[in-house]
Amino acid sequence: MSTRIAGNMGAFYPASCSEIDRMIAHWNGILDEALKDKSILQEKPRAIIAPHAGYIYSGFTANIAHRILGNSRPKRVVVIGPSHHVYFEGISVGLQEEYQSPCGTVPIDKAYADELARDFGLGFVPQAHEKEHSTETQVPFVHHYEPEAKVVELIYGKIEYTELVPIIEAILADPDNAVVISSDLSHFYTLEQAKQLDNICLAGVAEEDIGILDKGCEACGILGIKAIVAVAKKYGWKTQLLDYRTSADASGDTQRVVGYMSALILP
């Protein structure tokens, strides 16, 4: 059986299942104590936006979105992220059969991946999947909150966001599917500069306005964000911001900051 090896396990996130569970329990404890109105935790989104940095930096922000996505009980979760390590044109769909993860392998829906490849002319660029953290960091969360779900991994290279829109539409036409859009926000500005840039991203998502996103949002997964915003706007779905923070919250370094947000896309 072909396996998508987790090239970032033990680096971006722990290699130990018990450590993953401990971190998630810790984040949920903080969240449950801090939230006055817990109704948001009962939502059933069709898609989420979540960051993909090391868990010590962005795990809390990503966890909120994945926790809520678990309410939807998807049978299939399609994780969409940008390529950070390999340049290519187009969209690559992972065609392995299982995904390595700290708490055991996660089944990949290869039949569905084959269907997407056929319907949308997608290729498979194996080297793009070897160490891509934008998608890989989402899988332990999926495994924790949707243990029965299968995953599909889509990594995009040089494309227009409009190429993702019909794919996401087709995926979400099936009520058993959910989508995870992976993106961090601005990179390596001062804290003040980062917040100014990231606020453009937050406003663009909250208002479902690609025009706002085009005014300075510097997200590494901006194409995925634009695509899910376009789909939400077309179908009258609601976006809901969940959390925003920066690497400075964990590191204390306010001179080279990376921003993180998470959001829901609600029917």
Per-residue pLDDT reduced to its tens digit, 216-258: 999 999 999 999 999 999 999 999 999 999 999 999 999 999 9
Residue 91 forms beta bridges with which residues?
A: 156
The per-residue pLDDT for 6 is 98
The radius of gyration computed from the CA coordinates of the chain, to the nearest angstrom, equals: 17
What are the φ/ψ torsions at residue 180 (nearest 5 degrees)?
-115, 115
Characterize 241-259 residue by residue with b for buried, 16 or more Cβ atoms within 10 angstroms of its Cβ, and e for exposed: ebbbbbbbebeeeeeebbb
- Tell me what pLDDT residue 71 has: 98
- Residue 215 predicted with pLDDT over 90: yes
Q: How far apart are CA 44 and CA 264, in angstroms?
A: 9
Say if residues 180 and 77 touch (Cβ distance below 8 Å): yes
pLDDT at 1 over 90: no
**Superfamily of domain 3-32+41-266 in the CATH hierarchy:** LigB-like (3.40.830.10)
* C-beta of residue 184 within 8 angstroms of C-beta of residue 53: yes
Segment 150-154 shows an average pLDDT of 98
Residue range 65-100, pLDDT digits in tens: 999 999 999 999 999 999 999 999 999 999 999 999
pLDDT above 90: residue 181? yes
Boundaries of every domain in the chain = 3-32+41-266
User: For residue 123, is pLDDT > 90?
Assistant: yes
Return the structure tokens found at 144.
């924790």
